[in-house]
């Protein structure tokens, strides 16, 4: 396994009025790269540097072998973003990069995580909402699956919704109930005028054996503080086809602070899949 830590790659400063005082919020990114041996799982914790607070995160996996590599954990842990991945390829080492979005520059800035258990009956897709119980703004979110098998319990969506919650869903291709946990990252002590808005991109379809990249931008004056995706199929039987669709990227764009980027891979021979990018936009004006 190769492990590489790269600290802040890009930073932007946002100025906001809080009464008569000025507060400067800075976003920066940390990432880490792993290769995963065949038939193995991998744990990656991407830490935000001292003096910054994790507000969201994501991943970018090797798309050409998308059917074999699946992220089954993506969530905040303390001041880190945790990514856990399973590689079911029989012979190949596959790669993944995990990302943490880190915030600083505001006095007293902090973040915390909340969760909600979700039961998924056999043969269906089921999701649940996690909320911020103590008044924080929802800046990111994710999931923690208890059954890391790409053919059984499969994450198919994680995204902010208009009610200020974070929704995550998974598909259970077995006949037995499984469970996972939906997570939300909540940020406190942002400037008083700060607000977040979920913005949805257009669904992009992709056929068998192909990969597609999609992105969604925040509006003028906003910044992408987090984001997510909805990935599913448009045709065919869910039990036979959903397990062959993967989300291989769900991450910030390091060159464009207003953009969130996602990628899907479809290993089905005939059935069409689609992916929708969702971005969580922060406005501090």
Range 49-75 average pLDDT:
93
Alpha-carbon gap, residue 280 to 199, rounded angstroms? 6
Range 39-52 average pLDDT:
97
16-30, 61-75, 177-191: range with highest mean pLDDT: 177-191
Span 228-270, pLDDT tens digits: 999 988 876 666 678 889 999 999 999 999 999 999 999 887 8
Nearest to 278 by CA among 243, 228, 231: 228
Quote the pLDDT of residue 10: 39
Range 20-29 average pLDDT:
70
Quote the pLDDT of residue 243: 82
Range 134-142 average pLDDT:
94
Per-residue pLDDT band at 4 (split at 50, 70, 90)? very low
> Is the pLDDT higher at 162 or at 33?
33
Nearest to 78 by CA among 108, 57, 105, 59: 57
Assess contact for 215 and 263: CB atoms under 8 A.
Answer: no
What percentage of the chain reaches a pLDDT higher than 70? 90
DSSP bridge pairs for 94: 36
Quote the pLDDT of residue 6: 41
Span 55-67, pLDDT tens digits: 999 999 988 788 8
Assess contact for 169 and 116: CB atoms under 8 A.
Answer: no
Assess contact for 136 and 187: CB atoms under 8 A.
Answer: yes
pTM metric for this prediction = 0.91
Quote the pLDDT of residue 150: 86
Assess contact for 74 and 86: CB atoms under 8 A.
Answer: no
Quote the pLDDT of residue 115: 97
What percentage of the chain reaches a pLDDT higher than 90? 73
Alpha-carbon gap, residue 146 to 121, rounded angstroms? 14
For residue 240, what is the enclosing H or E element? helix 238-241
Residue 256 per-residue DSSP state: -
Quote the pLDDT of residue 265: 93
Quote the pLDDT of residue 147: 86
Task: Give the contacts of 264 (CB within 8 A, at least 6 positions apart).
Answer: 66, 204, 206, 211, 212, 214, 229, 231, 245, 246, 247, 248, 273, 274, 275
Query: How high is the mean pLDDT of the chain?
Result: 89
pLDDT over 70 (residue 19): no
Range 185-212 average pLDDT:
92
Q: Which two three-digit tokens encode residue 9?
A: 């790659």
Quote the pLDDT of residue 145: 96
Task: Give the contacts of 34 (CB within 8 A, at least 6 positions apart).
Answer: 1, 2, 3, 42, 44, 85, 95, 96, 97, 98
Quote the pLDDT of residue 99: 98
Map out the domains of the chain with their CATH numbers. 3-283 (2.60.120.690)
Quote the pLDDT of residue 284: 83
pLDDT over 80 (residue 5): no
- Find tokens 């923690």 and name the residue: 144
pLDDT over 90 (residue 93): yes
């Amino acid at each position: 396994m190769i492990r590489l830590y790269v600290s802040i790659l890009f930073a932007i400063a946002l100025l906001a009025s809080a009464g008569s005082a000025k507060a400067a919020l800075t976003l920066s990114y940390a990432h880490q790269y792993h290769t995963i041996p065949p038939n193995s799982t991998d744990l990656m914790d991407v830490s935000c540097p001292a003096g910054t607070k994790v507000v969201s995160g994501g991943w970018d996996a090797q798309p050409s072998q998308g059917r074999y590599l699946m992220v089954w954990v993506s969530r905040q842990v303390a001041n880190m973003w945790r990514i856990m991945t399973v590689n079911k390829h029989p012979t190949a080492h596959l790669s993944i990069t995990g990302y943490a979005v880190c915030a600083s520059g505001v006095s007293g800035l902090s973040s915390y995580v909340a969760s909600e258990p979700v039961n998924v009956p056999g043969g269906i897709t089921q999701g649940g909402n996690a909320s911020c119980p103590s008044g924080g703004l929802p800046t990111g979110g994710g999931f923690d699956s208890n059954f890391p098998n790409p053919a059984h319990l499969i994450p198919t969506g994680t995204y902010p919704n208009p009610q200020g919650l974070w929704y995550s869903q998974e598909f259970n291709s077995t006949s037995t109930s499984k469970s996972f946990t939906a997570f939300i990252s909540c940020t406190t002590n942002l400037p008083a005028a700060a607000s977040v808005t979920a913005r949805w991109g257009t669904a992009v379809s992709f056929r068998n054996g192909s990969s597609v990249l999609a992105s969604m931008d925040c509006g003028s004056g906003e910044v992408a503080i987090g984001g997510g995706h909805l990935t599913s199929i448009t045709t065919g039987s869910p039990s036979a086809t959903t397990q062959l669709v993967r989300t291989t990227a769900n991450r910030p764009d390091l060159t464009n602070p207003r953009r969130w980027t996602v990628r899907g891979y479809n290993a089905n021979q005939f059935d069409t899949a689609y992916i929708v990018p969702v971005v969580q936009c922060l406005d501090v004006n």
